[in-house]
Amino acid sequence: MTSIVVISAGISVPSSTRILADSLGQATVRALSSVDVVETSTSYDVIELRDLAHLLTDNVLTGFPTGSLADAVRRVAEADAVIAVTPVYTGSYSGLFKMFFDVLEEGTLQGKPVLMAATAGTARHSLVLEFAMRPLFAHLRADVVPTAVFAASEDFGGGSVRGGSLAARIDRATGELADKVLRRGTTLPDDPFENPTPFEDLLNDLH
Amino acid sequence: MQFGIFTVGDVTPDPTTGRTPAEHERIKATIEIAKKAEEVGLDVFATGEHHNPPFVAPANPPVLLANIAARTERIILSTSTTLITTNDPVRIAQDYSYLQHLADGRVDLMMGRGNTGPVYPWFGKDIREGINLAIENYHLLHRLWREDVVDWEGTFRTPLQGFTSTPRPLDGVPPFVWHGSIRSPEIAEQAAYYGDGFFANHIFWPASHTQRMVGLYRRRFEHYGHGTADQAIVGLGGQVFMRHNSQDAVREFRPYFDNAPVYGHGPSLEDFMRETPLTVGSPQQVIERTLGFREYVGDYQRQLFLMDHAGLPLKTVLEQLDLLGGEVVPVLRREFAALKPAHVPDAPTHASLVEKARSEDPSVELVETTGAPA
């Protein structure tokens, strides 16, 4: 089973960030089902960072995740692809959004297919995806799809019939994500507790 | 099973009074705490190593431990931890051997990598080499204590030709070594490779994490042929605050918890008690919680408690030690002993290591004999 994790940093209810997150999740499941010749089920589940806000602060202060945050971190580590969606705050991704990526273990997103998306009041913020978010995922060595999806408030009305609409961008980006997932196959992260590096190798690597 | 305390030597304002002890006061208080630990019947006193404020743990633990050795008779002196990354392993070999002689063998030590990033550059090291420094430096230290003449060439320190570390370990038996790590599987692997002890910090992380680290160490200990997995030598940290009435304990400790340097202003006391081994309550609650540790790490050999941190005044710390030594540890000793199978060893001591060396090679003439029981 292919697992898609959608991370939404929207705050309000309803939030346009969550609406976009769900659209991207559903479109990815559709894209995977349409090309996947093998009969495998695909699902997506959403991590709402608002629900984890206190636990994220605790994690930043104590160094370890607890409760539902520990569960969310594990789900991201085991996911075949991640869709990350943030509102634009003060010219960048939100602080809450960044905190989640700050507490992931090093290497969690390495090589993992990632789709980036953001929402804002106006289209003037759209380059946040390229100038703030893409460098973040480059640092995390994620495998980010070329198309990033930006939705301004105006995109949620009427745009879907014209070329270059939000719906078209969603389809292109999720198609790219599905391609990466299918090429990479289902993988689980290496577990250094199950397969430790033998000590002789650790010693020999010094010389 | 051994019970004791470990200190990080933090100089922290008492949040209930705003008063910060002077360095001199805190250092002298540490001596009083160690003496009290022996007086109430504990087995181990361990000190951290620090090179920066707000700590006055010694930069070189044998300085403090030698002083305590001269004021005590029985308690084992240890570290929590000795920085194997930024100290010269030659100096560790020499200083701790010397301490062994002064303390008539009442010495072991715990290797750690430290938790303060700038310590690496202060001593000319690269923090990205932390694991490799721990591996190479300990490999040299291990040889310096066991081979009279050492030729050495490594990556991180100047080579040695025909070098003899002095003084030689007491009775030709190096101090027992624990390797401490919160989260690096490489260190559990290292401890297992040498057949040394593994100490899980335990106090800052959930039990499930400690269980994985200890599980890996035990499995690899057996893999390297030192015994069965359940014979591996495991130590755990713990953190308690007690009053006879548990509500009193919670009320008194809460401001210290809420403002503690490590976890203050984050999770609630109740959350942290649920997620980590911290126990704030009655002596009976501490007994029950501590006995529960063996359910996820197996039968283990050493339990150390952090008692003198977060600005707690000396008077309170000494009262806590009275409760720990008087009401908690005697019960834990009895209960743990009743649960432990016969084939699970105790933590090695100088006396047991001398005994083992003799039994393995009776022809070996001991370098010296101790002047006092160890």
The verdict on residue B305 lying in a domain is yes
Residue B236 CA to residue B296 CA, distance in Å, equals 11
Interchain contact, B185 vs A196, CB within 8 Å: yes
The verdict on residue B370 lying in a domain is no
What are the tens digits of pLDDT across the range B115-155? Answer: 888 999 999 999 999 999 999 999 999 999 999 999 999 99
| More confident call, B92 vs B263 | B92
Interchain contact, A206 vs B136, CB within 8 Å: yes
Per the structure, the complete domain to which residue A104 belongs is given by 2-204
What are the tens digits of pLDDT across the range B295-344? Answer: 999 999 999 999 999 999 999 999 999 999 999 999 999 999 999 999 99
| Residue tagged 């291990």 (tokens) | B142
User: Do you know the residue count of chain B?
Assistant: 374
All residues of chain A having their beta carbon less than 8 Å from the beta carbon of residue B188 are 196
Q: What angle do CA B197, B218, B236 make, to 5 degrees?
A: 50
The verdict on residue B374 lying in a domain is no
CA distance A207 to chain B (A): 7
Per the structure, the complete domain to which residue B28 belongs is given by 2-360
Q: Per the structure, how many domains does chain A have?
A: 1
| Residue tagged 């559709």 (tokens) | A30
Of A58, A70, A199, the CB nearest to B189: A199
Half-sphere exposure for B193 (CA within 13 Å, toward CB): 19
Please tell me the predicted confidence (pLDDT) of residue B40: 98
Q: Which residues of chain A have pLDDT under 70?
A: 36-40, 158-164, 189, 207
CATH code of the domain in which A177 resides: 3.40.50.360
Contact at 8 Å (CB) between B331 and B287? yes
Residue B221 CA to residue A129 CA, distance in Å, equals 49
CATH code of the domain in which B309 resides: 3.20.20.30
Interchain CB contacts (distance < 8 Å): A and B = 65
Q: What is the mean pLDDT of residues B73-77?
A: 98
What are the tens digits of pLDDT across the range B258-270? Answer: 999 888 899 999 9
Of A61, A64, A197, the CB nearest to B189: A197
Indicate the average pLDDT of chain B: 95
Indicate if the pLDDT at residue B371 is higher than 60: no
| Cα R_g (chain A), whole angstroms | 18
All residues of chain A having their beta carbon less than 8 Å from the beta carbon of residue B193 are 199
Please tell me the predicted confidence (pLDDT) of residue B288: 98
Q: Per the structure, how many domains does chain B have?
A: 1
User: Scanning every residue of chain B, which has its alpha carbon at the shortest distance from the alpha carbon of A64?
Assistant: B205
The verdict on residue B366 lying in a domain is no
Interchain contact, B216 vs A206, CB within 8 Å: no
CA distance B212 to chain A (A): 7
Mutate to test the interface with B, among A59, A60, A203, A206 (most CBs of B within 10 A): A206
Please tell me the predicted confidence (pLDDT) of residue B34: 98
Mutate to test the interface with B, among A57, A64, A191 (most CBs of B within 10 A): A64
Q: Which amino acid is at A7?
A: I
User: Scanning every residue of chain B, which has its alpha carbon at the shortest distance from the alpha carbon of A197?
Assistant: B186
Residue A178 CA to residue A113 CA, distance in Å, equals 9
Please tell me the predicted confidence (pLDDT) of residue B204: 85
Exposure class string for B22-45: b at 16+ Cβ within 10 A, else e: eeeebbebbeebbbbbbebbbbbb
B208 Cβ contact list (under 8 Å, min separation 6): B296
Please tell me the predicted confidence (pLDDT) of residue B106: 98
Q: DSSP readout, B27-48? A: HHHHHHHHHHHHHTT-SEEEE-
All residues of chain A having their beta carbon less than 8 Å from the beta carbon of residue B271 are 58, 66
What are the tens digits of pLDDT across the range A36-95? Answer: 555 567 889 999 999 999 999 999 999 999 999 999 999 999 999 999 999 999 999 999
Q: Is B93 on the interface with A (CB under 8 A)?
A: no
Residue B71 CA to residue B234 CA, distance in Å, equals 28
Cβ neighbours, 10 Å, residue A8: 27
The verdict on residue B365 lying in a domain is no
| More confident call, B361 vs B72 | B72
The verdict on residue B251 lying in a domain is yes
The verdict on residue B129 lying in a domain is yes
Interchain contact, B132 vs A206, CB within 8 Å: yes
The verdict on residue B368 lying in a domain is no
Indicate if the pLDDT at residue B229 is higher than 50: yes
Please tell me the predicted confidence (pLDDT) of residue A42: 80
Q: What is the mean pLDDT of residues B212-228?
A: 98
What are the tens digits of pLDDT across the range B9-68? Answer: 999 999 999 999 999 999 999 999 999 999 999 999 999 999 999 999 999 999 999 999
Q: What is the mean pLDDT of residues B86-100?
A: 98
Interchain contact, A64 vs B212, CB within 8 Å: no
Mutate to test the interface with A, among B113, B132, B189 (most CBs of A within 10 A): B189
CA distance A108 to chain B (A): 16
Q: Is B117 on the interface with A (CB under 8 A)?
A: no
To the nearest whole percent, how much of chain B has pLDDT over 70? 97
B215 Cβ contact list (under 8 Å, min separation 6): A193
Q: Which amino acid is at B87?
A: N
A3 Cβ contact list (under 8 Å, min separation 6): A42, A43, A44, A45, A75, A78, A79, A80
Please tell me the predicted confidence (pLDDT) of residue A170: 96
Interchain contact, B265 vs A203, CB within 8 Å: no
Indicate if the pLDDT at residue B104 is higher than 60: yes
Please tell me the predicted confidence (pLDDT) of residue B364: 63
